[in-house]
């Protein structure tokens, strides 16, 4: 594309151009996969508790990531609590909590605006407002004025931002460029163009470094907004921040390489999009597991539909409790898996528990290995379309790996909570 303004002599890599015609086939394939997976993720129906928990979990991951990069020491679990409680920033007791609450407040405002109004041009006023929200109530150095361009040249170790006298012009150019024809997507390509635009906006804002503090957090917030406006689901709009945090040394290396290359942003683009797609794959695997769980629990209820005898109701509740436990369970432990099951077996012998488990095994609702039992959730995979040998087993192994990693524990709990109310 044609450059839209004069170059900054001290920063010749700030060219306001992106040559996507030079992009490798691998990058185009990744962009296509990102588009496909975002459509998939956006179109998956989930129960209300699962959808809400999915939003909370990945919002917490993103908010945690963008602040952890800057040194915030709160854990992902602590951030998730703040996200669930939607705390007022003014109620924060520490710098770390206030920083998290500020980012969360800004993200929620963006989510509300995009949901209500859709897409709008990115203005300097917007960028300044995001920086002010990020730094609101936080102690800052004397030269820092939240929401205002810096009066002194700033930077990070190994990199200096643009000169002070160039900031107004460069930021004006940046907003003009991002809102211009370069990033106007053809029909059906909004997510691809939005992903490119988000990474470019992030990179250029970091290069210009207009604020006394909070430049990285501001850049990643704008990145999330651009993704949301492009139609990326809310659960995925922070995946780039999470990728940067996961690969922090490489993140800094790629930023450094991009400026020292004279402004070739394609290697950074490939690094960013590759991480985005990898995490989309993880998200879809989590969602797929939830769908399997819902299908399995519905299948269990279907096997025990109609008017049930006491034994049938007891067996149904037992297999659902085994499903929730999602582990090997010995016969003498089975009666204590849930309050409901414990009440049903309170006046019955271990022999009855054993008979019920064996009855469930014959129905193929549980499997037995040695002296222990577990819910036969793998049975549901046989209702998937026919495929080559080993694929069903591989999908089950993938689902179990996700569960064992603990990545979807909170989402799984939300899923179980609703399903057990049937």
Pick from 217, 234, 265: which residue ends a domain?
A: 265
Q: Give pLDDT, residue 283.
A: 87
List the beta bridge partners of residue 160: 155
DSSP-assigned letter for residue 262: T
Residues 405 and 329 in one domain: yes
Between 404 and 115, the more confident residue is: 115
Residues of 125-152 as b/e, b for ≥16 C-beta within 10 angstroms? ebbbebbbbbbbebeeeeebbbbebbee
pLDDT band at 3 (very low <50, low <70, confident <90, very high): very low
Residue 81: its pLDDT value, please? 92
Number of H helices, E strands in the chain: 17, 5
Domain assignment of residue 10, yes or no? no
Phi then psi for 110, rounded to 5 degrees? -65, -45
Task: For residue 275, tell me if it sits in a domain.
Answer: no
One domain for residues 215 and 122: yes
pLDDT higher for 235 or 352?
352
Here the tokens at position 48 are 């209300």
Q: How many CB atoms lie within 10 A of CB 421?
A: 7
Domain match, 75 and 153 both = yes
- The total domain count for the chain is 2
For residue range 293-305, what is the model confidence (pLDDT) as tens digits?
Answer: 888 999 999 999 8
**419 band by pLDDT with thresholds 50, 70 and 90:** very low
Closest to 221 in 3D by CA, of 319, 147, 318, 157: 147
pLDDT at position 410:
52
Q: How many of the other CB atoms lie within 10 Å of CB of 124?
A: 15
Name the average pLDDT for the chain.
89
Is residue 46 over pLDDT 80? no
Read off the pLDDT of residues 96-111 as tens digits, 9 standing for 90 and up: 999 999 999 999 999 9
Kindly report the CATH number assigned to the domain that includes residue 215.
1.10.3290.10
Same domain assignment for residues 222 and 98: yes
Is residue 120 domain-shared with residue 190, that is, in the same domain? yes
Residue 30 lies in a domain: no
Encode pLDDT of 333-346 as tens digits: 999 999 999 999 99
In angstroms, the CA 13 to CA 7 distance is: 8
What are the residues facing 346 on neighbouring strands? none
Kindly indicate the confidence band of residue 147, based on its pLDDT and cuts at 50, 70 and 90. very high
Confidence of residue 309 (pLDDT cuts 50, 70, 90): very high
Q: Are residues 304 and 372 in the same domain?
A: yes
**Residue 69 placed within a domain:** yes
Residue 419 CA to chain centroid, in angstroms?
Answer: 24
Q: Residue 330: beta bridge partners? A: 372
**What domain range is 319 assigned to?**
287-417
> CA 153, CA 88: separation in Å to the nearest integer?
33
Closest CA to 273 of 217, 187, 198: 198
CA nearest 137: which of 82, 100, 83, 84?
100
Its pTM stands at 0.83
35 located within any domain: no
**Kind and range of the H or E element at 156?**
strand 155-156
Phi, psi of 102 (to 5 degrees): -65, -50
Q: Are residues 104 and 224 in the same domain?
A: yes
Residue 409 has pLDDT above 60, yes or no: no
Q: Could you tell me the pLDDT band of residue 4, with boundaries at 50, 70 and 90?
A: very low
Structure tokens at 385: 């379309």
Q: What is the pLDDT of residue 382?
A: 75
| Residue 356, φ and ψ in degrees, nearest 5 | -65, -45
Residue 322 sits in the same domain as residue 256: no
Same domain, 151 and 256: yes
């Amino acid at each position: 594309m044609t450059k839209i303004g004069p170059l900054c002599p001290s920063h010749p890599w700030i060219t306001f151009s992106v040559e996507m015609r030079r992009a490798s086939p691998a990058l185009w394939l990744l962009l296509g996969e990102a588009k496909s997976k975002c459509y998939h993720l956006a179109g998956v129906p989930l129960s209300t508790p699962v959808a809400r928990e999915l939003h909370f979990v990945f919002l917490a991951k993103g908010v945690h990531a963008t602040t952890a990069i800057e040194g915030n020491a709160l854990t992902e679990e602590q951030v998730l609590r703040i996200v669930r409680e939607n705390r007022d920033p003014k109620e924060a007791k520490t710098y770390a909590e206030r920083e998290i609450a500020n980012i969360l407040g800004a993200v929620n405002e963006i989510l509300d605006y995009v949901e209500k109004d859709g897409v709008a041009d990115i203005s300097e006023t917007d960028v300044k407002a995001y920086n002010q929200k990020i730094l609101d109530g936080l102690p800052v150095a004397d030269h820092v004025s939240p929401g205002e361009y810096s009066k002194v040249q700033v930077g990070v170790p190994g990199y200096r931002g643009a000169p002070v006298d160039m900031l107004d012009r460069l930021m004006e150019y940046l907003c003009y460029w991002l809102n211009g024809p370069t990033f106007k997507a053809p029909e059906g390509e909004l997510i691809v163009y939005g992903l490119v635009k988000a990474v470019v906006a992030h990179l250029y804002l970091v290069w210009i470094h207009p604020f006394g503090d909070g430049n990285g957090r501001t850049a990643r917030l704008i990145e999330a907004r651009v993704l949301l406006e492009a139609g990326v689901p809310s659960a995925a709009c922070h995946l780039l921040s999470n990728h940067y945090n996961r690969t922090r040394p490489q993140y800094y290396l790629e930023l450094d390489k991009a400026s020292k290359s004279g402004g070739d942003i394609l290697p950074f683009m490939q690094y960013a999009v590759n991480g985005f797609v990898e995490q989309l794959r993880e998200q879809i695997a989590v969602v797929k597991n939830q769908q399997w769980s819902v299908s399995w629990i519905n299948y269990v209820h279907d096997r025990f539909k109609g008017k049930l005898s006491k034994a049938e109701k007891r067996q149904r509740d037992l297999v659902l409790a085994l499903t929730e436990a999602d582990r090997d369970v010995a016969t003498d432990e089975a009666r204590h898996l849930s309050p409901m099951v414990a009440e049903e077996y309170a006046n019955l012998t271990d022999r009855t528990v054993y008979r019920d488990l064996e009855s469930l095994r014959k129905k193929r609702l549980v499997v037995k290995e040695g002296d222990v039992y577990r819910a036969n959730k793998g049975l549901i995979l046989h209702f998937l379309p026919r495929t080559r040998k080993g694929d069903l087993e591989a999908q089950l192994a993938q689902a179990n790996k996700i569960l064992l990693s603990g990545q979807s524990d909170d989402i799984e709990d939300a899923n179980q909570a609703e399903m057990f109310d049937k």
